[in-house]
A and B are shown apart, each in its own frame.
Chain A
Amino acid sequence: QSALTQPASVSGSPGQSITISCTGTSSDVGAYNSVSWYQQHPGTAPKLMIYDVNNRPSGVSNRFSGSKSANTASLTISGLQAEDEADYYCSSYTRSRTWVFGGGTELTVL
């Protein structure tokens, strides 16, 4: 199984919105509404930000939102803040009963 495709890096200025894409196939992203997004700051464990495409866990800011169309999922962060600077990963459940991650996207807040 191949990793999901994410842009290597994105950037934005404070207050702006950015979107990170996550492209898979009809066997993973396109097959289920089981896409999650994680935030990872250097030296720390990943943190779940979005699950099941567009649901936020308790405590996650509503500036984070998710969506999906066909085989591509997206994470949008609005009102960018300096603390949002981190690596972001998507994951998807697959028809093989496994999970697959994206390669990760480094977000820089300018």
Chain B
Amino acid sequence: EVQLVQSGAEVKKPGESLKISCKGSGYSFTTYWIGWVRQMPGKGLEWMGFIYPGDSDTKYSPSFQGQVTISADKSISTAYLQWGSLKASDTAMYYCARGYSTSLGDYWGQGTLVTVSS
């Protein structure tokens, strides 16, 4: 069974760093890419970027380029989304989703809620 399991909810202060994870199982982790999607409270889905764990090829949405870092450790089938300095506006639910070729999101993680507040 294909599963994407994300790390738990986080509460952080502005300026702090954070790395959340998405662990894949039940499939060959290196042959599908992993995308990250933001959903701010009460708002729609926003595609942030993706990584192809097979060769670490990474692409970001222009809206998120320079704001976050996407990485992966294929030895443990885990992808990451990282912030160097959080802002209150980063408060959102973050989902990882599996993709293949030009198709996005046949499987999704359960989401990680990130709350940034002083």
Contacts and interface: CB of A to CB of B under 8 A. Distances in A.
Do A and B make up one complex?
yes
A101 B102 contact: no
A57 B102 CA distance: 15
Task: Identify whether the interface residues of B are mostly helix, strand, loop, or mixed.
Answer: strand
Interface stretch (A16-24, A41-49, A61-69, A71-79): A41-49
Contact of B45 (A38, A48, A51, A98): A38
A89 B106 contact: no
A38 B105 contact: yes
Contacts of A38: 45, 105
Interface string B26-56: 0000000001010000001111011000000
A38 B97 CA distance: 12
A1 B62 contact: yes
B47 A45 contact: no
Contacts of A104: 44-45
Interface of A: 1, 3, 32, 34, 36, 38, 40, 45-48, 51-52, 57, 87, 89, 91, 93, 97-104
Interface of B: 35, 37, 44-47, 49-50, 59-63, 95, 97, 102-111
